[in-house]
Structure 1
Amino acid sequence: MRLPLCVLLALAVTAGSVTAANWPQFRGVGGNGLAESSQPLPTNIGPDSKHIAWKVPFPPGHSSPVLYGDRLFLTAVRDKALVTIAVDRTNGQLLWEREAPYKSLEEIHSIGSHAQPSPATDGKLVVSLFGSSGLYCHSVDGKLLWTRKMGPFNNDFGAGTSPVIVDDLVLTVQDHDTNSFLAAYDKRTGKLAWKTDRSEFPRNYCSPVIWTVAGKKQVIVAATLRVVGYDLATGKELWTVRGLSRSVCNTPVIGGDGKLYVAGWARGGDIDERISVDPFAKMIAALDKNNNGTLERPELEKGHAIERRFPQVDRDKTGSITRAEYEYYRNLFDVARNVVLAIRPGASGDATKTHVAWEYRRHIPFCASPLFFNQTVFTVKDGGILTSLDARSGKALQTKRVPGAGNYYSSPVAGDGKIYLLDQKGRLSVISGRGKWKVLHRAQFGEETYATPALVDGRIYLRTNGHLYCFK
């Protein structure tokens, strides 16, 4: 029997196997942010909504809920303790809580958390990562199975990428100012399967995504100036597409059309807003007051592009910027491009000129990951600027501001024809999931929100910095 071409394409290019009624990692199955169930989702949700199934106080943290079976998992900070928590998804009741010991807490951003990465689960294991101490694997009943010590990393913003479980492996990418890497561990034992050096990349915050092309799984990571596809079996680089921002803080998504959608934004990379700095030789001649051949922070004009980013430019954290460090960052300012890219499958080697289907250079999101829904790519830029793009052509369909007009660390999720967005101030916007979208509902939770909601079996699991909600 011959299968229709559309079926063959769907089999050849997928975002991974789909398991209904679960949300096993950051942004759910395959990291695509889509509800797998066709059950209706409530629209008019909020802190006093009639749709609240349960609401419980919850310790703060930025990680997003993951669910498998009757359990929901999160990480949090409770009285300086770093904890992995399991609750009953039917009523929010605490099932167990396990602490991750540490010698010293990592440095974090002023709005950061020591519980930033989201956990991952396969229904038997739950893996959590803390930048202060490493990877922890528990059974879903709370038994500690193994740990891999790592961190604190060389990064004053802390660790923020989430692990994923694929087949028998746990994957983590850790891009920091030095010693960046992508690694795979045996999920049963924690033994290292392979580790790929990524020292060319400074700090980035893209979590790995699995892209299955022609029956083979690739690990996708977007970061400084380029996105890379790695062989899941070996960690070997298979292909790359260049032309990204100088840092990437969101995670790509694999569309239902088989393409990979990547976004990256950093200040100074927009078409009409560039950052340019003088060459090192000119700076050192004018500013090197102690004549040591390097630049120290007090020697730089306060507010200068390099002074503002001194800890990032000083990658080895010696307190001085060398010529190599300075010129590396100056080049980033010159070549970085804030952009949304659509990449076709089947790439090999440098595919910049062969596999980019389209690009879009306006209204690029910073931390919120793109969403593919109804043949449309949705992005939300800080300030609540929501753009819808035709996934086939990259043509902008609509750009408007949603009611939540703050910064976005939570990523959009969709189901039942609706898209849910939460800004940092806890302002919710629910919109119709079409190119010419409309606002359907708005609400104010009154607490800061960094986590991405989970949509499972007609229910919405939403975390603020003080509570965990379930809406139905």
Structure 2
Amino acid sequence: MTRPGTIAFVFCLTTASLTLADGNWPGFRADGSGTVKADLPTRWSAQEGVAWQSSIPGYGQSSPVVWNDHVYVTSSEGPFQQDCQVHAFDLPTGKKRWTTHVAATTKVENYFRNSRAAPTCCVDETGVFSFFASGDVTAMKHTGETLWTTPVIKKYGEVDNERGVASSLAQTDDLVFVLVDHHGPSYLVALNKSNGDIAWKTNRGMRVPSWSSPVIAKQNNRELVITSSADTVDAYDALTGEALWQLDGLQGNHIPSATVVGDQVFVGSTTMYGGATDEDATAGSNCCIQLTDNAGKPGYEVRWGAERANSYYSTPLAFAGYVYYVNKVGVLYCIDQETGEQVFVKRIGNPCWASAIGVTQSDGEQLVYFVLKNGYTIVLRPGDEYDQVARNQLYDAGAMIEARESAEQQRQANAVPADQAAPKTGPEKIFAGMPESRLHQMFSYGDPMVYGVAVAGNQLLIRTGQNLFCVSP
């Protein structure tokens, strides 16, 4: 059942994302909320409901973005990911329209535990903006011509991050934002969309590696850049880069990004090897922050910290009066959005690397889509109890074997020569001598693996390392 008083609250949440109903999905998790109004299919299989499947050259971990009838994804190739690629696909047919190559200005080993084209693009009416682990930010027309390239990491110094850079871009009308947190001088930088020039750069001091993405919040007539990363949540003025406030004392918010819905920010945190290990502190760091305004001065209040929750790779979803978190072994936590109290816990069978989507249909029904790492999608009806509508399979056993073999061939073809491989540092040093097959087993890295999703009109786009799928009514 739906909680009392939820209907009016839900209206406030969904009206902010109605602009996405025209078919555009302009960035990571759309507008940062992961919610959309659409009539998505609820049931499909490998044999029925998949409108098309297209192969993506190279390998990538970014989510799709959509503008009109263009779908954009990124990938990389080469032992040092020196060939970065932006691909445009035709939404109605899945046919690849173009690929534009970006020459990497810094080296990043093409290692399966490193980030490989993980940052998600953002897109607007002028074109598509991409960011790669090499630190190169680019702007391209919708026809594929490169407008400008800015080598951010080459400009500000190499990154000491044992898993590579994976933070996705955020955007306002005029700027794109890049977050770089690592064992060294960390920063948030804004680039002008028109020419790639640096609009401002704000130093964040010495940090620890994080891979979460900034998100935009709107407060009165002011746009804020919210970062949940490296054990703090920070707010910056999007126009000037001025640091406005910081919530510290958190633990484990290195991977999940923040969710912004209206004037609330929801933080995801997880226990992780070589980092956060205190389960109680991590649970409390899965929290809700209320944005405040005191005589024009932005601030915040912590409304609650969850008693028991954990969000691994995927970002928490706040939708229909609930907040959903999925941990690294596939346990779903449902938390009351107003109080932070636990509603239910349910093992759903596999973790999510793609973040969940909250969907409001044209008839008013609300559904949550959890696209699991192994290609299954669970469709859930929000409520005080676990109410599963459907469980759908994207590919069959034959397709899984074929994808696994293709990914293995890609890794071998792009392997870094032993005499050129850099010594592993941090937690990766412990794993350096282990066989790759053992590491795949330990960390469940077997392909095909779903990395990201998007909604285009009434279609669901699902991206694995080497393929893009479109599920349509």
* TM-score interval, normalised by the smaller of the two chains: 0.7 to 0.9
Alignment correspondent of 1:441: 391
Alignment correspondent of 2:469: 469
Residues in 1 aligned to 2:190 and 2:15: alpha-carbon distance in whole angstroms: 21
Tell me if the contact between 1:137 and 1:146 (Cα under 8 Å) persists in the aligned partners: yes
Alignment correspondent of 2:305: 359
Q: Which residue identity is paired with 2:317?
A: L
Q: Which of 397, 401, 410 does residue 347 from structure 2 map onto?
A: 401
Tell me if the contact between 2:225 and 2:235 (Cα under 8 Å) persists in the aligned partners: yes
Alignment correspondent of 1:418: 367
Shift of 1:437: 2.7
Shift of 1:266: 3.0
Tell me if the contact between 1:412 and 1:420 (Cα under 8 Å) persists in the aligned partners: yes
SS in 1 for 2:240: coil
Alignment correspondent of 2:378: 429
Tell me if the contact between 1:387 and 1:399 (Cα under 8 Å) persists in the aligned partners: yes
Q: Which residue identity is paired with 2:304?
A: W
Residues in 2 aligned to 1:188 and 1:42: alpha-carbon distance in whole angstroms: 38
SS in 1 for 2:358: strand
Alignment correspondent of 1:280: none
Tell me if the contact between 1:422 and 1:449 (Cα under 8 Å) persists in the aligned partners: no
Residues in 2 aligned to 1:265 and 1:187: alpha-carbon distance in whole angstroms: 34
Tell me if the contact between 2:265 and 2:290 (Cα under 8 Å) persists in the aligned partners: yes
Q: What is the TM-score normalised by the length of structure 1? A: 0.77
Name the count of aligned residue pairs: 395
Shift of 1:385: 0.6
Shift of 1:272: 5.0
Tell me if the contact between 1:65 and 1:118 (Cα under 8 Å) persists in the aligned partners: yes
Tell me if the contact between 2:252 and 2:285 (Cα under 8 Å) persists in the aligned partners: no
Alignment of 1:89-128 (within 5 A): 89-107=91-109, 110-128=112-130
Tell me if the contact between 1:69 and 1:123 (Cα under 8 Å) persists in the aligned partners: no
Say if 1:466 and 1:34 are closer, same or farther in 2 by CA, change over 3 A: same
Moved more, 340-349 or 111-120: 340-349
Q: Which of 245, 248, 260 does residue 242 from structure 1 map onto?
A: 248
Shift of 1:133: 4.5
Shift of 1:374: 0.7
Q: Which string of whole-angstrom CA distances, capped at 9 and with x for unpartnered residues, describes residues 332-365 of structure 1?
A: xxx87762111111167996xx711111042311
Shift of 1:110: 3.8
Alignment of 1:285-364 (within 5 A): 339-346=285-292, 355-364=301-310
SS in 1 for 2:339: coil
Shift of 1:227: 0.3
Shift of 1:224: 2.1
Alignment correspondent of 1:25: 27
Q: Which residue identity is paired with 1:443?
A: Q
SS in 2 for 1:250: coil
Q: What is the TM-score normalised by the length of structure 2? A: 0.77
Alignment correspondent of 1:57: 55
Instruction: Identify unmatched segments of 5+ residues in structure 1.
Output: 1-5, 274-334
Residues in 1 aligned to 2:283 and 2:334: alpha-carbon distance in whole angstroms: 20
Q: Which string of whole-angstrom CA distances, capped at 9 and with x for unpartnered residues, describes residues 190-210 of structure 1?
A: 111100001232211121111
The structure with more radius of gyration: 1
Q: Which residue identity is paired with 1:466?
A: Q
Q: Which residue identity is paired with 1:346?
A: T
Tell me if the contact between 2:282 and 2:310 (Cα under 8 Å) persists in the aligned partners: no
Say if 1:424 and 1:19 are closer, same or farther in 2 by CA, change over 3 A: closer
Tell me if the contact between 2:60 and 2:116 (Cα under 8 Å) persists in the aligned partners: yes
Residues in 2 aligned to 1:149 and 1:342: alpha-carbon distance in whole angstroms: 35
SS in 2 for 1:346: strand
Identical aligned residues as a percent? 26
Say if 1:444 and 1:125 are closer, same or farther in 2 by CA, change over 3 A: closer
SS in 2 for 1:453: strand
Residues in 2 aligned to 1:185 and 1:366: alpha-carbon distance in whole angstroms: 29
Shift of 1:127: 0.7
Q: Which residue identity is paired with 1:231?
A: D
Alignment correspondent of 1:197: 203
Residues in 2 aligned to 1:14 and 1:198: alpha-carbon distance in whole angstroms: 34
SS in 2 for 1:18: helix
SS in 2 for 1:393: coil
Tell me if the contact between 1:253 and 1:369 (Cα under 8 Å) persists in the aligned partners: yes
Say if 1:361 and 1:200 are closer, same or farther in 2 by CA, change over 3 A: farther
Shift of 1:78: 4.5
Q: Which of 334, 354, 357 does residue 388 from structure 1 map onto?
A: 334
Residues in 2 aligned to 1:397 and 1:270: alpha-carbon distance in whole angstroms: 24
Shift of 1:70: 1.0
Q: In the alignment, does 2:291 pair up with 1:379?
A: no
Q: Which residue identity is paired with 1:430?
A: V
Tell me if the contact between 1:76 and 1:115 (Cα under 8 Å) persists in the aligned partners: yes
Say if 1:451 and 1:123 are closer, same or farther in 2 by CA, change over 3 A: farther
SS in 2 for 1:263: coil
Residues in 1 aligned to 2:284 and 2:251: alpha-carbon distance in whole angstroms: 5
Tell me if the contact between 2:18 and 2:37 (Cα under 8 Å) persists in the aligned partners: no
SS in 1 for 2:234: strand
SS in 2 for 1:159: coil
Alignment correspondent of 2:433: none
Q: Which residue identity is paired with 1:389?
A: I
Tell me if the contact between 1:108 and 1:156 (Cα under 8 Å) persists in the aligned partners: no
Shift of 1:246: 4.4
Residues in 2 aligned to 1:129 and 1:15: alpha-carbon distance in whole angstroms: 26
Shift of 1:36: 3.2
Shift of 1:91: 0.7
Tell me if the contact between 1:241 and 1:350 (Cα under 8 Å) persists in the aligned partners: no
Alignment correspondent of 2:261: 255
